[in-house]
Structures are given as structure tokens and as C-alpha cells.
Chain A
Amino acid sequence: MTGDDLAALADRVFADPEAAATLEVASEDAEVLALLVEYARRRQHRNNRDPLAQKRAMTLFRSFLNAEQQSQLRRRGFIYTQVPSGNVYRICPRVALTMRAERHGKRIYGVTSYCYHDAGHELPPADLALAHLLLLLADEDEFLRAANATDRRMQWDGAWRRKLNQARRARSHAA
């Protein structure tokens, strides 16, 4: 499939994902089509979402937080929660992003992020964040078993950070 073909296919999919899902394409392009349809469906759900839903969901989410977590949420947009196993998680209700966090020196890094959501992507992000919070506090093992984990460990890898800082210094010298 050429770039123009792909762009044309994407236009059709985004115009009507449900009709595009039944399109007949070459077998090697079927995976691309499935990914485009999935992405278009999610975008459609996001756009069709009740604008007040996230606000209401945030109210419910906040009602489960202690004073310190409410302050974290106001200042930084996410909260930290320590679960019974001792692990610390960072939960961002704006995008329903949950990460396991570790302290290294003065900084706290997200080392693993978790994707765990409802089938239709209908729930507002704050409701998903609440589900993550409750499941982590009540049954962390189940959460870890069911959620899709992505390793983000490079963020606190010493060698990687040294290279990053070196590049930043070089850039500032050049400027």
C-alpha cells in the first residue's frame, strides 16, 4: 500500500469507522485496516462523550482521596498511592494513566505503566482511574495480572539520563 492509498483508506475509516470495518482489502493490509478502525472508534467515543461526564467522575474520584492526595491532584494533576504490598503507584485521572513509581535519589520515576480499560472505551478517564485505585488497594495481584504493562524503566536508567543531560548541555552550549 502506498502512502496515498493509506491516506485515502484513513480518510474513509475516520469518516465512518463502522462501514470501513467491513471493507475488503488485501490480506497484508488487513492489520493496518483493523488498527485504523480501532483508533477511529476510540476517537469517535472520545468525541461523543458527555462533556460533563469527566467532571462528575472527577468529583467521585476526589471523594476517595485523603487531604494529601487532593493537594497532589490540585498541584500536579496526579496522585500517589501506596498499596498494602508497599508498592507506590501514580494515578492520573485526566487520562487514566497508572504507573508504578519508584524513588531513585531525589526523584520519583514511573517505571511501569498499565493499560486497563472497559471494552467500549465508554467510561470517562476519572472513572477508570477510580477503578484502578480501588483494584490496586483491594487486590493488587489481580490488577497486575489483568492489566497490560509497559516497561518505562529507561526513564531512571543512570546511563540514559547521563546521555540525556549531556545532549541538553550540548544543545544549550550550541544555542
Chain B
Amino acid sequence: METLEGHARETLEIPDASGHMTVRWDPDNPEEVAEVQGVVDRLKAQGYSFFEAEGEPGAMTIRREPTPLARKNRGPRRHVAIRPLAGG
């Protein structure tokens, strides 16, 4: 999976065995959004859950969201994709 660079405003962190991978994109750039949408679709098919963090640490609002690209016209946000977990 490729990490997108550029004038990014949003990030998607994907924790994995290597620590984590970060995907950055500019929500105003349709090409980058389409590429990230492909990444998100693949992760959703694998059962990943998405979380959105908005605001500074300490006053951060965490939300669970169906997809990180659903809402538009908002401030910079961070997204985290968590792979399926189970109680053990």
C-alpha cells in the first residue's frame, strides 16, 4: 500500500505488525480521495473498524464512523483503522 504525500489535511493510521502505517490525503484533491477510498474499501472488506479523532489531545472527540470519507467540509481530522479484534 502506498503512502500519499502532499498538502495533506487528513490522515489515516493503520496499526499493523510493523507498528503502523500512515496514509495522508488532501480532501480537496479528488484523485487522492479516490485512491484513499480504494484503501478504505479494501480495509472495510477485511472487517476493519474506523475511528475519527477531532481536536487536540486532551480535548479530543473520538467517534466511530462507517467510513472516514463520508463527511466533508470539516477541520483537519485523524482517522484510525483497527483490524477485527476478539475477546480471548
Contact = CB atoms under 8 A, between A and B. Distances in A.
Interface stretch (A2-10, A22-30, A48-56): A48-56
A149 B57 CA distance: 28
Interface stretch (A12-20, A104-112, A124-132, A159-167): A124-132
Contacts of B13: 60
Contacts of A123: 15-17, 83
A171 B73 CA distance: 66
Nearest to B15: A127
A116 B64 contact: no
Contacts of B82: 131, 134-135
A39 interface: no
Q: Give the size range of B's interface with the partner.
A: 20 to 34
Given A115-B88, A131-B82, A54 B19 contact: yes
Interface string A123-159: 1100110110011011100100011110000000000
A50 B17 CA distance: 7
Given A64-B53, A118-B85, A138-B64, A131 B19 contact: no
B75 interface: no
Interface of A: 49-50, 52-57, 59-60, 63-68, 114-119, 122-124, 127-128, 130-131, 134-135, 137-139, 142, 146-149
